[in-house]
Amino acid sequence: MNQTTLDGITLNLAGPVELNLKWVGQDELLTQLLAAWMVIDERDLPFNPRLIGKPGVGKTTLAYAAAKRLNQPVYLYQATMDTRPEDLIVTPVIGPDGKIHYAASSLVSAMLTGGVLILDEGNRMSEKAWASLAPLLDDRRYVESIITGLCIPAKREFRIVVTMNEDSSTFEIPEYIHSRLQPQIYIDFPEADEELVILKENLPFADSDILKYVVGFLQRAHVADELYSVRDGINIARYALKMSAAGGGTPQELLRLSVTRILGNEALPYLG
């Protein structure tokens, strides 16, 4: 277990993540995110960008791809409505020896190792949780742990990116945090050719006609402003392929059945 000591207090660090994610297409978005993290002078500081878009458009994938370009360890924190300030920073745990140990969150671990933190679905967090990050997101670049009494500084190499879904089941971000999470990079649904490339990348064993059929379904849904994403398309195609291997029906029949199982009957009109 990796550890570090600050002011006599030992912190157990979380480990970085290795994800099976690959960003396909839309290189301009990758450039925008990397530019936000860039430091162009010793007096300059990186931005704390946020990636905004509908669920399933690839926000986490984009964040991970950009983080890997920096050749720094990548950490992931999944925000929820129950996230507390101490969850974001340091939590006490009972060790095998029966004593209290202090576990640094993935965010604090990224700060102390000079890694990249992906704060996923950040607008699911309450204002109380966000308030604990305010000094990290401006030129102070530190967090305070109430539990340990530590002031924890971020290494200069530390970077953070926040993903946010466009849906109604989220908190409003307080204005003083909103101004600290800049720039905003919006990720929209891919164009048809990009969507086909993404499907082929994720399902290289699938028949091209099936993937094109799924892309047609997704594009019609996008025009109608439905939330169906390329992730849904991958799941639809994958399930249809599995059912085909199990011995049932024509590709069209299986895709229709797959759509109902993955998204429900309300998605059927977009099959064309």
pLDDT in tens, 101-150: 899 999 999 999 999 999 999 999 999 999 999 999 999 999 999 999 99
- Do the beta carbons of residue 230 and residue 199 sit within 8 Å? yes
pLDDT at 170 over 80: no
Q: What is the pLDDT of residue 118?
A: 98
Kindly write down the DSSP assignment for every residue of 15-61, as one continuous string.
PP--------S-HHHHHHHHHHH---STT------EEEESTTSSHHH
Strands 100-104 and 90-94, by their bridges, are antiparallel
pLDDT at 251 over 80: yes
Instruction: Name the average pLDDT for the chain.
Output: 92
Among 187, 211, 213, residue whose Cα is nearest residue 197: 211
Q: What is the pLDDT of residue 131?
A: 95
Residue length, the chain?
272
Q: What is the pLDDT of residue 1?
A: 67
Q: How many whole angstroms separate alpha carbon 192 and alpha carbon 153?
A: 45
Q: What is the pLDDT of residue 169?
A: 57
How sure is the predictor about 215, in pLDDT bands with cuts at 50, 70 and 90? very high
Q: Which residues contact 112 (CB under 8 A, 6 or more apart)?
A: 4, 11, 13, 104, 152, 154, 155
pLDDT at 242 over 70: yes
